[in-house]
Amino acid sequence: MSLITTQLLTKRYPNGVTALSELTVDVEPGVVGLVGANGAGKSTLIKILLGLLPPTSGGVRVLGLDPATDGEQVRARVGYMPEHDCLPPDLVAAEFVTHMARVSGLPRTAARERASEALRHVGLYEERYRQIGGYSTGMKQRVKLAQALVHDPDLLLLDEPTNGLDPAGRDAMLALVMRIGTEFGISVVVCSHLLGEVERICDSLVAIDGGRLLRSDRISAMTTAT
Ligand code: ADP
Ligand code: ADP
């Protein structure tokens, strides 16, 4: 089954900006790079995939579900790491990730256990009782990744996970994303404005520009073609 399909997907914001224009893609499970310059429409697409934003026209399926009508079901099976800092600085990481697990419907004890697990997977287990406000940028990014993982999703949508990191931090974050994808056996969509960065870790690539599809390919197919 396809991981994500879109059919002539168009999104126009009320101010008249067309963020996505007749986008048609069919993406197989695996690690998927979603690349494009700032303003290309990546975040808009992610929000539509999550059912947080309705399309203006066209169709979309995520894990076979329509996020416009089955948003709750989609969000139960998809983990989302937003681009911007959404972390409460006064909470300790364990509390925050437990809270996110509770929000996704887990009972208290399971939520605590899953939060510890998720924080262990991103390498923050030892520091899980420290306040998030005292974390480095890289640690904050990993808390965001942990909260996306906490409800054991089938798909992760990561919006610019390497934002704000130095080159070593970027490499470490991408290695972590790849390891998690493999270990959990789940699919991952990684948004980035840096083609070279995600190309290395992805099975397939979707490139957009000005809301239009530039290319959608398996990486191996692209390598032989160029
Ligand atoms: P990217 O994530 O690739 O940077 P976005 O999806 O954030 O791109 O933005 C695509 C285009 O849509 C940009 O021109 C942006 O300014 C515009 N845009 C994004 N969100 C909104 C909004 N809520 N209202 C109006 N325009 C928006
Ligand atoms: P993102 O790309 O993660 O949406 P941005 O910094 O582009 O982040 O936007 C921050 C917020 O402002 C988002 O909710 C986005 O939808 C909205 N936004 C972005 N561009 C515009 C725009 N041109 N007009 C109105 N809202 C916008």
Instruction: Name the pairing type of β-strands 31-35 and 204-209.
Output: parallel
**Which amino acid does the sequence have at 191?**
C
Measured in Å, residue 226 CA sits from the centre of ligand 1 at 31
The predicted structure's pLDDT at residue 225? 46
CB 180 within 8 A of CB 188: yes
Report pLDDT digits (tens) over 22-60: 999 999 999 999 999 999 999 999 999 999 999 999 999
3-state secondary structure of 190: strand
What share of the chain has pLDDT > 70, as a percent?
A: 97
Measured in Å, residue 195 CA sits from the centre of ligand 1 at 19
Measured in Å, residue 43 CA sits from the centre of ligand 2 at 9
CB 149 within 8 A of CB 118: yes
* Ligand 2 pocket, mutate which of 11, 12, 13, 192 (most atoms under 8 A from CB): 13
pTM of the model: 0.89
Ligand closest to the CA atom of residue 211: 1
What share of the chain has pLDDT > 90, as a percent?
A: 88
- Nearest residue (by CA) to ligand 1, atom 23, is 13
| Cα(56)–Cα(52) distance, integer angstroms | 13
The predicted structure's pLDDT at residue 221? 54
Measured in Å, residue 20 CA sits from the centre of ligand 1 at 9
Residue located via tokens 């994500």? 4
192 in contact with ligand 1, CB cutoff 6 A: no
3-state secondary structure of 11: strand
pLDDT along the chain (226 residues), means of 10: 96 97 96 96 97 97 96 95 91 97 94 97 97 96 96 96 94 94 93 90 95 90 49
Reported as type and span, the H/E element at residue 58 is: strand 57-62
The predicted structure's pLDDT at residue 85? 80
